[in-house]
A and B are shown apart, each in its own frame.
Chain A
Amino acid sequence: DAGVIQSPRHEVTEMGQEVTLRCKPISGHNSLFWYRQTMMRGLELLIYFNNNVPIDDSGMPEDRFSAKMPNASFSTLKIQPSEPRDSAVYFCASTPREGSNQPQHFGDGTRLSIL
């Protein structure tokens, strides 16, 4: 079990640039979640997918944020254009199967710094 894989681990870029974060969930997992973590706001759920379909994107802060899941093994979170306040650690997590009360497995995160 390779776990949830995120890339890149670190990203430093200038404001206004497009940023793309990537996630590969654990094989066979049906649901995928994107979180943002900051000191001030803690862990915030941005969007989640079930069987590659976005279910709830109400946590996405602005239209500058978008997420896709083209297949069961890959998802992207894109920020365009990026701003300094987007600096945070972004985590992806997946759960084993449909239904409630399944434990979420987190990736190692992407530490994003927007200058």
Chain B
Amino acid sequence: GENVEQHPSTLSVQEGDSAVIKCTYSDSASNYFPWYKQELGKRPQLIIDIRSNVGEKKDQRIAVTLNKTAKHFSLHITETQPEDSAVYFCAASWDSGYSTLTFGKGTMLLVSP
């Protein structure tokens, strides 16, 4: 089955800096890669996703890049703010017909004012 590795496990940045979280996956058949943000005590919420026919996608301060050859994808957050502090999860899905996701272990991002 699919295996998703996520690094780093914790990331501390100063407000205004950029943050990058990286994930690798094992199954070359995976073709959908969402990112979820989970604030303390809250539910995971989808913040951005990318499909395998696209190499990069941006939404304001957030961007995701995908390298299918190397089987890795990354989340980039620019101009970080304290409210960006949360745990971020990457995930991968293959065309199974049922949208099942395999999640990485998560990255705790701390943005200091």
Contacts and interface: CB of A to CB of B under 8 A. Distances in A.
Interface of A: 31, 33, 42-43, 45, 48, 50, 55-56, 91, 95, 98-109
Contact of B99 (A91, A100, A106): A100
Given A42-B103, A100-B32, A101-B31, A106 B97 contact: no
A103 B100 contact: no
A contact face: mostly helix, strand, loop, or mixed: strand
B3 interface: no
B51 interface: yes
B35 to A, nearest CB: 11
Task: Bin chain B's interface residue count.
Answer: 20 to 34
Contacts of A33: 100
B100 A98 contact: no
A56 to B, nearest CB: 7
Contacts of A31: 98-99
The 5 A-B pairs of least Cβ separation, nearest first, read A101-B32, A106-B43, A102-B99, A43-B103, A100-B95
Given A91-B43, A106-B43, A108-B42, A50 B95 contact: no
